[in-house]
Amino acid sequence: MTIRYDEGPKQGLPIHFFSRDELAAVTQQGFQPVTEPREEFIRRAPPKTGHWAQWEMIWQKS
């Protein structure tokens, strides 16, 4: 999924968000995994509510 930020420090930038399966596909050739993928949950600081999640992994270029 690609979105474009309408405000803030990333205003106007198109940012692509990858699913776990997409990350595996785009790194299948040319990279070796150093760590397993893990889902990181980040809670918003009050007074904001909710959280967001992102996949994190480390690869080494082969």
What are the tens digits of pLDDT across the range 20-58?
A: 788 888 888 999 989 988 899 999 999 999 998 888 889
Q: Give the pTM.
A: 0.54
Residue 40: partners with Cβ closer than 8 Å, 6 or more residues away: 53, 54, 55, 56
The pLDDT of residue 37 is 83
The pLDDT of residue 50 is 94
pLDDT at 60 over 90: yes
CA distance 16 to 3: 6
Amino acid at 51: H
